[in-house]
Amino acid sequence: MHSSDTAEITLENVRVPLDNLIGDEGKGFQQQMNQFQNERIYAAAGAIPAMDRAIQTTIEYCSQRKAFGKTILDNQYVHYRLAELQTEVECLRAFASSVC
């Protein structure tokens, strides 16, 4: 994901022809804040495949790596934590599909 620099600009006494007006006059800030919300949701939805891959890679690693005579995945807490992370990803997937 790429981002861009953000900077504050102030425009005073600027005239915009009606043909070039986007949205309602004086509502630009609200319109931009709504746009930011949409961008955040789409960015989160776009990260879901990477989250799935990270969890799957971790599961594969934990099922191969041994400590104290058993695989790391056999550790109840590790198993629980991975399940919890997968549940969070599924919640994000459900939320994103309902709003995107």
Q: Kindly provide the residue ranges of all beta strands, DSSP E only, lying in the chain, ordered along the sequence.
A: 66-67, 70-71
Residue 60: active-site member = no
What is the spatial distance between Cα 78 and Cα 21, in angstroms, rounded to a whole number? 55
Catalytic residue among 8, 39, 60, 84: 39
Active-site positions read 39
